């Protein structure tokens, strides 16, 4: 079990993350928050997830053309087909070229220093039991999708592992 894990409401963490970086980010982009219904709590290390969100949101805000708050960053939460929690961070920036997209998950690769590299963010997502994917359209923007398992699934899975791995008398 990863230390310091607890059940987290993504809506609360997203709003807290935005408040912490609001002074810097508000001049770069307009943030549009769209929270889906019935998004489950996630069981994660809050600090690690907050670092990842802060980095991805900061990168999205910096990607918006002109940096004059004329572009949008959409932050959406929803439930996927398996019942897991999803956070999508979409910007209306210039997008990512195919060449850059091919290298973006390479360690130490970055186009701007706005936080953690995407390769590090993807590793954090995996450590938290989830995934991070990127889609983009050059000239239209980029979407980063973070999927995290619902807290109930993780608790059941860990309990089953403990029973399976327990020594028999």
Q: Supply the CATH number for residue 79's domain.
A: 3.30.565.10
Per the domain annotation, does 85 fall within a domain? yes
Q: Which residue segment(s) compose the domain that 153 sits in?
A: 5-164
Distance separating alpha carbons of residues 130 and 122, to the nearest angstrom: 9
Per the domain annotation, does 144 fall within a domain? yes
* Beta bridge mates, 5: 45
Residue, of 111 and 71, whose pLDDT is higher: 71
Looking at every residue in the chain, the average pLDDT score rounds to 80
Per the domain annotation, does 169 fall within a domain? no
Q: What is the pLDDT of residue 67?
A: 53
Question: How many domains are contained in the chain?
Answer: 1
Tens of pLDDT, residue by residue over 83-140, are: 999 999 999 887 766 666 665 656 555 555 455 677 888 889 999 999 999 888 888 8
Per the domain annotation, does 102 fall within a domain? yes
**Is pLDDT above 50 for 63?**
yes
Where residue 51 falls (left for φ over 0; alpha for ψ -120 to 50; beta otherwise) is alpha
Distance separating alpha carbons of residues 18 and 24, to the nearest angstrom: 10
* Beta bridge mates, 137: 141
pLDDT above 90: percentage of residues in the chain: 38
Per the domain annotation, does 64 fall within a domain? yes
* Tokens 């549009």 sit on residue: 32
């Amino acid at each position: 079990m990863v230390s310091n894990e607890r059940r987290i409401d993504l809506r609360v963490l997203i709003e807290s993350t935005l408040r912490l970086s609001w002074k810097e980010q508000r001049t770069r982009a307009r943030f549009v928050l769209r929270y889906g219904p019935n998004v489950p709590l996630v069981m994660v290390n809050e600090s690690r997830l907050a670092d990842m969100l802060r980095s991805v949101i900061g990168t999205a805000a910096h990607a918006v053309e002109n940096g004059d708050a004329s572009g949008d960053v959409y932050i959406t939460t929803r439930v996927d087909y398996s019942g897991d929690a999803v956070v999508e961070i979409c910007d209306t920036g210039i997008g990512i070229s195919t060449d850059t997209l091919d290298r973006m998950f390479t360690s130490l690769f970055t186009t701007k220093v706005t936080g953690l590299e995407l390769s590090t963010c993807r590793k954090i997502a995996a450590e938290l039991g989830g995934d991070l994917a990127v889609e983009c359209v050059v000239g239209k923007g980029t979407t980063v999708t973070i999927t995290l398992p619902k807290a109930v699934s993780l608790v059941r899975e860990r309990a089953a592992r403990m029973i399976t791995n327990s020594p028999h008398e």
